[in-house]
Amino acid sequence: MLFNSINFAIFLPIVFILYWFATKGNLRLQNILLLVSSYFFYACWDWRFMFLLIFSTLLDYFTGIKIHEAKNQRKKLFWLWLSIGINLGFLGVFKYYNFFAASFADGLSLLGLKANLGSLQVILPVGISFYTFHGLSYVLDLYKNRIKPERNFIDYSVFVSFFPLLVAGPIERATHLLPQILKKREFNYSKAVDGLRQILWGLFKKIVIADNCAEYANTIFNNSADYSGSTLVLGALFFTFQIYCDFSGYSDIALGTARLFGIDLLRNFAFPYFSRDIAEFWRRWHISLSSWFKDYLYIPLGGSKGGMWMKIRNTFIIFLVSGFWHGANWTFIVWGFLNALYIMPSIIFNTHRNNLDIVARGKYLPTIREFFAIGITFSLTVFAWIFFRAESVAHATQYILDIFKHPGSFLLFGIYWKYKTILFLILIFVVVEWFGREGQYAIAHFGAKWYKPIRWAIYYSIIFAIYFFAGSKQQFIYFQF
């Protein structure tokens, strides 16, 4: 069930009405309804994978209790590693087995040996990377004594499978979400309106920007040998906006939907394309995953406390693992490696925390220095996205070479006129994002001091844009991860 589908447009109001009116404010009934609705939402993808989701939930629920009740460190470690091993084992089989089998066979072929390991013809369970990380954060927090185990299975299951975040995040922490699930919730009109506003902006980003960009990006990347360098640059730019508007659009809809039920999810994007360096970009892009790797991998590895060598080593590890988390393809690993290289100067010269605040706060325009810093950071990001989007490392390499081999009409703008509508929409989008960058999302406070009719005119303009400029429906990119 896609967020941008008619089915979800029917599903959401029904759940909302039952949640606030049929349950009469009873917390237990609300949580049961959320769990049933979440399982129904997930079953709409493929009901067979429900068993995997429920098994994963049961595994972490029981191992969490055992970790808490363990009398000594050895038993705690046993239950912790049992949970980690089984969770990552399932993730490895479904997501990475074919990759490792093919890579092993390729390695043997270089030595003149042949191996036929076969491949698994299975569909990747949607959301497996996300709900696996939900459960892992729970047992790791229990092991570190940051939380106590949740003994109500229904409440814990809602934490794992809450439908707005189930298939593509954000990756929640038990320390943040579980207390909200256990606490009595009352309807808040302002919060609900804010949620609807964020859903609206998320739909605009997905349907108008991402889906239109996807059409052009797919055509250009899939036939890259037929295009000039200028068109290939446009293809990379289209994918750059596609992946941002697709994933942040999903996150906006997820956060807005959760707010309708009185629940606040972790923010996942904070205008990353306005970053002044790569370190700032990664504080603003897929925040829930970046912070997860920082807390559960980077810091346990020693973080930045063991000297420069350990800091560099650990940085490369988390970027390579982050790349591998995205998919079983060498393109993602190269993408992670590139970002690790990008961030190295700020790590070595200790400037990675120079840009903690939003750029040009309280101003209409950035300084010249900030403008060029944003441009350089954005350009590096676009270059890395080529590897993320390409079918293989060879395809990405050839794509980049063709940009310079056949530069085409970079200065004639004829090629740009062909894509004038989507480029104009992207320009409007960037302007709105820029002026709304100090909010939680672009239109959170847009026109807040204007007369109500003008604000409503803006909302209706967005709705009309969604209707008139909708691209062909595309699945959310991060469903494959």
By annotation, the residues acting in catalysis are 326
157, 166 contact by CB (below 8 A)? no
Q: Which residues of 182-194 are buried (b: 16+ CB within 10 A; e: fewer)?
A: eeebeeeeebbeb
Instruction: Indicate the residue type of 64.
Output: G
Nearest Cα to Cα of residue 95 among 132, 40, 55, 64 = 132
Distance of CA 479 to the CA centre of its chain: 9
41, 3 contact by CB (below 8 A)? no
DSSP 3-state helix, strand, coil percentages of the chain (rounded to 5)?
A: 70, 0, 30
Task: Report which DSSP code applies to 480.
Answer: G
Nearest Cα to Cα of residue 186 among 23, 340, 390, 305 = 23
256, 248 contact by CB (below 8 A)? no
Cα-based distances in Å from 26 to 39, 183, 203, 356: 20, 11, 31, 42
Instruction: Report whether the peptide linkage leading into residue 149 is cis, meaning its omega lies within 30 degrees of zero.
Output: no
160, 57 contact by CB (below 8 A)? yes
Residue with tokens 């996150």: 251
474 Cβ contact list (under 8 Å, min separation 6): 210, 211, 214, 246
Cα diameter, the chain: 74
